[in-house]
Amino acid sequence: MRRFVPIVAAVLAVAITLPARAALRLSVSGEAREELNTAEFVDRYSTFAAHLAAAAGTQFKFSFSRDLSRELQRARSGVYEVLIGPAHVIGTAIRYGYDPVARFSGEERVVFVATEASGIKTLEDARGKRIALPPGDSLATYLARGELNARGVHAKTFFAETREYRYHEAALLALEFGQADLAVVDRKLAEDWLTRNKGRILFESRGAPAMGVAVLHTLDRATRARIRAALLTPNAGGIARELASLDLPPMRSISREEYTYVSTLGYFTPNVIDGVRRITAEEAAAMMKTGVPIFDTRVEEEYAERHIKGAANVPYVEKSAKEVGFDAAQDRFDLDKLPHDKSAPLIFSCNGPECWKSYKASVVAHRAGYKQIYWLRGGFPEWREKNMPTE
């Protein structure tokens, strides 16, 4: 096996100096994989970034990191003017004020793969089994948890054991050594593994863009235009030649829509809740006409600004993680403000699919014994978009 340089948490910083303009901060982040060690990664992308800086006529002070948790947090904070990273880093950045510029060709897909000996043929068969995952901040684990989350599956309770490994390849080794029954890995790695081992792919995610580039929307228009031109104009400043010499695929333009899947998967609420029926704004309106109450679980300030006409405000004070299996003990929700008759129907709503307050309120109410819970997942945004009455 190839000897590789251990990945460290420290960030390697490099400055490219060009005269005239103040340096922009550029972050290059990548996955923790054996196939590309830290030294190779830095050498490849530092050369690429140097050519990008020269072609764009822009100074860069850039950093490298394989700590994607750190880069995801910094993407939310707008620390860098320019980001180069995996799909979930760029997708998160788009949600927090960045504009996608370009991406390398190709796409990433994650699969759940099981050994033949495990007897697992579907994801449902994996209940109570042991699962091996790449690092928690990897794109593969991000997509896998998001897909499970969308199905209302809490990994910690669904699987008998959930273990994360340092590298994608290590998760596959756990299958070979009998330490796991199924693993989550990149599609290409899984296909290679299956040529040497008996097993099957249980599920495959949708495709996510390969490494991409995004710029902070507050960056001046002229600089953004130069960066875009340097990446997308054939042979601009030697960028096209440099991509080929570094064994990097060519770049192409990218739209926000191509990141919709990955940017919402790890953030949006699940599509289903056990014991709760999901409804549309039209269905909620029809039920309200028959006297069914609707409860807006947003904070008081949001409710006071504007809300569904006739809705009552029962805020869900949320401190727990936005995930299936959240710890309700960390939150506050006044059940006494709900109907005392637990067999009576009621509706919960908040700020749309990305708002977890109505999801959590529905779960908590169901656990408390309410029998007819309806969840307006689209919440106030769906209601407003359909021009329904507000106050």
Task: Tell me, yes or no, whether 179 and 214 share the same domain.
Answer: no
Task: Tell me, yes or no, whether 365 and 330 share the same domain.
Answer: yes
Q: Is the pLDDT of residue 10 over 80?
A: no
Nearest Cα neighbor of 239 from 105, 15, 55 is 55
pLDDT at 17: 43
Task: Tell me, yes or no, whether 292 and 366 share the same domain.
Answer: yes
Domain total of the chain: 3
- Give the gyration radius of the chain's Cα atoms: 24
Q: 2 in a domain, yes or no? A: no
What's the DSSP call for residue 8? Answer: -
Across 367-391, average pLDDT: 95
The structure tokens listed for 391 are 């106050």
Q: Among 245, 265, 285, identify where a domain stops.
A: 265
pLDDT at 209: 93
High-pLDDT (> 90) share of the chain, %: 50
Task: Tell me, yes or no, whether 218 and 75 share the same domain.
Answer: yes
228 contacts 109 by C-beta, under 8 angstroms: no
Please, what is the average pLDDT of the chain? 86
Task: Tell me, yes or no, whether 116 and 177 share the same domain.
Answer: yes
pLDDT at 160: 95
Q: Is the pLDDT of residue 303 over 70?
A: yes
Ranking 71-80, 181-190, 281-290 by mean pLDDT, the lowest is 71-80
Q: Among 163, 188, 204, identify where a domain stops.
A: 204
Q: Which residues contact 311 (CB under 8 A, 6 or more apart)?
A: 294, 295, 296, 303, 349
Residue range 216-227, pLDDT digits in tens: 998 989 889 988
Residue range 321-347, pLDDT digits in tens: 788 889 999 999 999 999 999 999 999
Q: 391 in a domain, yes or no? A: no
More confident residue, 384 or 156: 384
pLDDT at 15: 43
What's the DSSP call for residue 181? Answer: S
**Alpha carbon distance 348, 359 (integer Å):** 8
Q: 223 in a domain, yes or no? A: yes
pLDDT bracket for residue 67 (50, 70, 90): confident
Ranking 2-6, 226-230, 304-308 by mean pLDDT, the lowest is 2-6
Question: What domain range includes position 191?
Answer: 110-204
Nearest Cα neighbor of 125 from 182, 82, 179 is 182
Task: Tell me, yes or no, whether 215 and 97 share the same domain.
Answer: yes
